[in-house]
Amino acid sequence: MSTGKRTRRTATLASLAAELGVSRTTVSNAYNRPDQLSPQLRQRVLDAAKSLGYPGPDPVARSLRTRRAGAVGLLLTEALSYAFRDPGAVAFLEGLALACEDARTGLLLVPAVEGSGTDPAVVSRAAVDGFVVYSMPSDNPYLATVLERPVPTVIVDEPAGLEGVDFVGVQDRAGMAAVGRHLVALGHRRVGVVTSGLSADGYEGLADLARQRAATYHVVRDRLEGLAEGLATGGIAWESVPVQEMPANALHLGKTGAHALLDASPDLTAIVGMSDIVALGVLDAVTERGGSVPGDVSVTGFDDTVAAREVGLTTVHQPLREKGRVAGELLLDTGERTGPRTRILPAELVVRSTTGPVR
Closest by Cα among 125, 76, 64 to 100: 64
> What mean pLDDT do residues 163-177 have?
95
pLDDT (mean) for 253-265: 98
- Least confident span in 24-28, 66-70, 198-202, 305-309: 66-70
Q: The dihedral of CA 98, 142, 161, 199: what is its sign?
A: positive
pLDDT at residue 5 greater than cutoff 50? no
Query: Around 335, how many Cα atoms within 13 Å sit in the side-chain half-sphere?
Result: 7
CB atoms within 10 A of CB 247: 17
Name the percent of the chain lying above pLDDT 70. 89
> Would you call 352 exposed, middle or buried from its count of C-beta atoms within 10 A (0-12, 13-18, 19+)?
middle
The topology (CATH level 3) of 172-319 is Rossmann fold (3.40.50)
Over residues 339-353, the mean pLDDT reads 95
For the ranges 16-20, 59-63, 137-141, 194-198, the lowest mean pLDDT is seen at 59-63
Q: Is the pLDDT of residue 331 over 60?
A: yes
pTM of the model: 0.78
Q: What is the DSSP letter of 239?
A: G
Is the CB of residue 43 less than 8 Å from the CB of residue 78? no
**C-alpha–C-alpha distance, residues 167 and 9, integer Å:** 23
Q: Is the pLDDT of residue 1 over 80?
A: no
For residue 251, count other CB atoms closer than 10 A to its CB.
20
Domain range summary for the chain, segments of one domain joined by +: 71-169+320-344, 172-319
Q: Regarding predicted confidence, which is higher, 23 or 34?
A: 23
CB 260 within 8 A of CB 237: no
Do 172-319 and 71-169+320-344 have the same topology in CATH?
A: yes
Type of residue at 230: G
Backbone φ, ψ for residue 132 (5° rounding): -105, 120
pLDDT of 4 over the 50 cut: no
Q: Where are the beta strands (DSSP E) in 221-354?
A: 243-245, 270-273, 298-300, 315-317, 342-345, 348-350
Angle, in degrees to the nearest 10, between helices 251-264 and 276-288: 50
**Quick one: pLDDT at residue 10?**
60
Query: SS3 for 66?
Result: coil
Q: Which of 165, 150, 166 is nearest to 65 (CA)?
A: 150
pLDDT at site 66: 43
Q: What is the pLDDT of residues 70-96, one digit of tens each?
A: 889 998 876 666 667 788 888 999 999
Give the model confidence (pLDDT) of 89-125 as tens digits.
Answer: 889 999 999 999 999 999 988 877 665 556 667 777 7
CATH architecture of 71-169+320-344: 3-Layer(aba) Sandwich (3.40)
- For residue 9, pLDDT over 60 is answered with no
Rg, C-alpha atoms of the chain: 23
Q: Is the dihedral of CA 129, 130, 134, 137 positive or negative?
A: positive
Q: Is 21 left (phi over 0), alpha (psi -120 to 50) or beta?
A: left
Q: Nearest to residue 219, comparing CAs of 272, 280, 176, 162?
A: 176
**Mean pLDDT, rounded, for 275-304:** 97
The mean pLDDT of the chain is 88
Residue 2 in this model has a pLDDT that exceeds 60? no
pLDDT of residue 17: 86
Question: What confidence score (pLDDT) does residue 55 get?
Answer: 67
pLDDT recorded at residue 50: 83
